[in-house]
Structure 1
Amino acid sequence: MTGRSAVEQPEEQRELFALVDELAREELEPRAARFEEDGQFPEALVRLLGKQGLMSLPFPERWGGGGQSYTVYLKVIERLAGSWLAVAESVHLQVLACHGLARFGTDELRSELLPRMLSGELLAANCMSEPEAGSDLGAMSTKAVAEDGHHVISGTKAWVSHAGVADVYNVYCRTGGSALSGLSCFLVDADSEGLRPLAHERKMGVRSLPTAQIAFDGVRVPDQRMIGRRNRGMLVAAHVFDHGRLGISACAVGLAQAALDHAAAYAKERTQFGKPIISFQGLSFLLADMATQIAAARALLYSVAALKDQGKPISAEAAKCKLFATDTAMRVTTDAVQVLGGYGYTQDFPVERWMREAKLLQILEGTNQIQRIAIAQSL
Structure 2
Amino acid sequence: MAKEKRDPMGAALGVLNRVAGLGLLDRLGLRKPVERGLYQATRAGFRTAAATSRTFTAASKLGQPARLPKAPEQDLFDITPTDEQKMIVDTVREFAAEQVRPVAPDADAKCEAPQGLVSAAAELGVTLMGVPEELGGVGAERSAVTSVLIAEALAHGDMGIAVACLAPAAVANALVEWGDAEQQSTYLPALTGENAPAAALTVQEGQPLFDPFALRTKAYRTADGFRLTGVKTMVPRVGQAELFVVAADLDGRGPALFVVESGSAGLSVEADPSMGLRAAGLGTLHLDNVAVPASALLGGGDPAVYADCVRLGRLGWCALAVGTAQAVLDYVIPYVNEREAFGEPVSHRQGVAFMVADIGIELEGMRLVTYRAAGRAEQGKPFARETALARKLCADKGMRIGLDGVQLLGGHGFVKEHPVERWYRDLRAIGLAEGTLLV
* TM-fit CA distance, 1:288: 1.0
Contact conserved, 1:128 with 1:172, CA < 8 A, in 2? yes
SS of the residue corresponding to residue 157 of structure 1 reads: strand
What are the residue-to-residue correspondences of 1:347-366 with 2, within 5 Å?
347-365=416-434
Contact conserved, 2:203 with 2:212, CA < 8 A, in 1? no
In the alignment, which residue of structure 2 is the partner of 1:278? Answer: 347
* TM-fit CA distance, 1:282: 1.9
What are the residue-to-residue correspondences of 1:152-163 with 2, within 5 Å?
152-163=227-238
| Counterpart-to-counterpart distance in 2, 1:184 and 1:325 | 27
Q: Deviations over 1:327-358 (max 9, x none)?
A: 22111111111111111111111111111111
| Counterpart-to-counterpart distance in 2, 1:135 and 1:124 | 23
Contact conserved, 1:268 with 1:277, CA < 8 A, in 2? yes
Between stretches 349-358 and 92-101, larger displacement belongs to 92-101
Asked if 1:138 corresponds to 2:214, the answer is yes
In the alignment, which residue of structure 2 is the partner of 1:318? Answer: 387
In the alignment, which residue of structure 2 is the partner of 1:107? Answer: 181
| Counterpart-to-counterpart distance in 1, 2:86 and 2:212 | 42
* TM-fit CA distance, 1:36: 0.1
What are the residue-to-residue correspondences of 1:256-275 with 2, within 5 Å?
256-275=325-344
Asked if 1:89 corresponds to 2:163, the answer is yes
Contact conserved, 2:372 with 2:386, CA < 8 A, in 1? no
* TM-fit CA distance, 1:233: 5.0
Amino acid at match of 2:298: I
SS of the residue corresponding to residue 311 of structure 1 reads: coil
Contact conserved, 1:201 with 1:211, CA < 8 A, in 2? yes
SS of the residue corresponding to residue 213 of structure 1 reads: strand
Contact conserved, 1:78 with 1:254, CA < 8 A, in 2? yes
| Counterpart-to-counterpart distance in 1, 2:423 and 2:333 | 15
In the alignment, which residue of structure 1 is the partner of 2:364? Answer: 295
What are the residue-to-residue correspondences of 1:20-35 with 2, within 5 Å?
20-35=92-107
Higher relative contact order (CA 8 A, sep 6+): 2
Q: Deviations over 1:182-224 (max 9, x none)?
A: x4432111122221112x2231111121222222234332222
* TM-fit CA distance, 1:243: 0.7
| Counterpart-to-counterpart distance in 1, 2:135 and 2:151 | 21
Amino acid at match of 2:282: T
Asked if 1:250 corresponds to 2:319, the answer is yes
In the alignment, which residue of structure 2 is the partner of 1:373? Answer: none
Give the alignment partner of residue 346 of structure 1, picking from 415, 423, 426.
415
| Counterpart-to-counterpart distance in 1, 2:166 and 2:391 | 14
In the alignment, which residue of structure 2 is the partner of 1:66? Answer: 138
| Counterpart-to-counterpart distance in 2, 1:6 and 1:323 | 20
C-alpha change, 1:289 and 1:157, in structure 2 (3 Å) is closer
Give the alignment partner of residue 173 of structure 1, picking from 220, 230, 248.
248
| Counterpart-to-counterpart distance in 1, 2:394 and 2:215 | 29
* TM-fit CA distance, 1:150: 3.8
C-alpha change, 1:286 and 1:129, in structure 2 (3 Å) is closer
Q: Hey, which bits of structure 1, 4+ residues long, moved more than 6 A?
A: none
Query: Which runs of 5 or more structure 2 residues have no equivalent in the other structure?
Result: 1-77
Give the alignment partner of residue 287 of structure 2, picking from 216, 226, 236.
216
Q: Give me the identity figure in percent.
A: 29
Amino acid at match of 2:118: V
C-alpha change, 1:310 and 1:145, in structure 2 (3 Å) is closer
C-alpha change, 1:224 and 1:45, in structure 2 (3 Å) is same
In the alignment, which residue of structure 1 is the partner of 2:33? Answer: none
| Counterpart-to-counterpart distance in 1, 2:182 and 2:163 | 29
SS of the residue corresponding to residue 89 of structure 2 reads: helix
C-alpha change, 1:189 and 1:342, in structure 2 (3 Å) is same
The TM-score with structure 2 as length reference comes to 0.74
| Counterpart-to-counterpart distance in 2, 1:7 and 1:240 | 26
Contact conserved, 1:170 with 1:185, CA < 8 A, in 2? yes
Amino acid at match of 2:247: Y
Q: Deviations over 1:243-299 (max 9, x none)?
A: 111111110111111101111010111112222221222211111111111111111
Contact conserved, 1:344 with 1:351, CA < 8 A, in 2? yes
| Counterpart-to-counterpart distance in 2, 1:228 and 1:315 | 19
C-alpha change, 1:8 and 1:216, in structure 2 (3 Å) is closer
Asked if 1:236 corresponds to 2:305, the answer is yes
In the alignment, which residue of structure 2 is the partner of 1:43? Answer: 115
What are the residue-to-residue correspondences of 1:195-214 with 2, within 5 Å?
195-198=267-270, 200-214=271-285
Contact conserved, 1:142 with 1:154, CA < 8 A, in 2? yes
Q: Deviations over 1:303-328 (max 9, x none)?
A: 22221232101112101101102222
The TM-score with structure 1 as length reference comes to 0.85
* TM-fit CA distance, 1:137: 3.8
C-alpha change, 1:344 and 1:197, in structure 2 (3 Å) is same
Amino acid at match of 2:106: R
| Counterpart-to-counterpart distance in 1, 2:371 and 2:354 | 26
* TM-fit CA distance, 1:132: 5.7
C-alpha change, 1:136 and 1:241, in structure 2 (3 Å) is closer
C-alpha change, 1:303 and 1:141, in structure 2 (3 Å) is closer
In the alignment, which residue of structure 1 is the partner of 2:196? Answer: 121
Asked if 1:9 corresponds to 2:82, the answer is yes
Contact conserved, 1:55 with 1:95, CA < 8 A, in 2? yes
In the alignment, which residue of structure 2 is the partner of 1:374? Answer: none
Contact conserved, 1:129 with 1:137, CA < 8 A, in 2? no
| Counterpart-to-counterpart distance in 2, 1:139 and 1:270 | 49
Query: Which runs of 5 or more structure 1 residues have no equivalent in the other structure?
Result: 367-379
- The number of residue pairs the alignment matches comes to 354
